[in-house]
Copies of this chain bind each other. A is one copy, B any other.
Amino acid sequence: MQEGSIYVLRIGHRPRRDVRITTHVALVARAFGAAGFVLEGGEENLKSVRKVIGHWGGTDTFSIRAVSDPKRFVREWKKDGGKVVHLTMYGINIGGESLESMQHHGPVLVVVGAGKVERWYYENSDWNIAIGNQPHSEVAALAIFLDRLSGGLELSKGFSDAKISVIGSEHGKNVQKRLP
């Protein structure tokens, strides 16, 4: 893990119910500048994310992996000097002090739950942060968190190994394909 880098850990993934939401969480991590995505669950749940990376880039700059014991992952993360942020509507609303101290810390692991999250994560995270205290979406919460943490700077990023990319246009589609 690198100084200043951000990883996202998705816990509690329910293979059928959460398959699309978890994919959205992973793609948000990638698009908003995280260095990696870690899923509690089986490797087979990462198929569609791998496909996106293969087309749109990130093979070298965005790592993905599955783990079977996420608590152990968190414990080792902290032992290595990393900080842990758990996104939850029960936490302290984002902004101000906590955001600044996260920006000045070492690597940050952002924990994103599905369904009910075990008390352990509330107690063992350095920060429990709410993106508003209303129920909405872990996909939205992660996006806002990463956007605020980076000061909005990650949204224009590209991936050098992309086979396909988009050039924004006013009323149509402009897709660039790189010749093999």
Binding site for B on A (CB under 8 A): 17, 20-21, 24, 27-28, 30-32, 52, 56, 89-95, 122-123, 125, 128, 130-137, 139-144, 147-148, 152, 154-157, 159, 165-175
Question: Within the assembled complex, what's the spacing in Å between the Cα atoms of A31 and B137?
Answer: 10
Residues of B within 8 Å of A24, CB to CB, are 21, 136-137, 139-140
* Residues of chain B contacted by A156 (CB below 8 angstroms): 93, 132
The answer to whether A137 and B91 touch across the interface, beta carbons within 8 angstroms, is no
Expressed in whole angstroms, the Cα–Cα distance for A159 and B141 within the complex equals: 19
In the assembled complex, which residues on chain B have CB atoms less than 8 Å from the CB atom of A166?
Answer: 89-90, 130, 133-134
A29 to chain B, nearest CB (A): 9
In the docked arrangement, what's the CA distance between A174 and B93, Å? 13
| Alpha-carbon distance between A122 and B171 when the two chains are bound, in angstroms | 5
Bound form: Cα–Cα A137–B32 in Å: 11
Write the nearest CB–CB distance from A155 to chain B, whole angstroms. Answer: 4
Q: Which residues from chain B contact A30 at a C-beta distance below 8 Å? A: 134, 136
Contact A92 B168, beta carbon cutoff 8 Å = yes
Report the separation of the CA atoms of residues A27 and B132 in the bound assembly, to the nearest whole angstrom: 12
Instruction: Given A135-B56, A167-B133, verify A28-B155 contact (CB < 8 Å).
Output: no
Instruction: Sort A-B residue pairs by CB-CB distance and give the 10 closest, nearest first.
Output: A140-B143, A24-B137, A31-B134, A132-B155, A133-B166, A31-B136, A139-B139, A27-B136, A90-B173, A92-B168
* CB of A126 to closest CB in B, whole Å: 10
Interfacial chain B residues near A142, Cβ < 8 Å: 140
Q: A96 CA to B75 CA in the complex, in Å?
A: 42
**Chain B neighbourhood of A139, CB < 8 A:** 24, 137, 139-140, 143
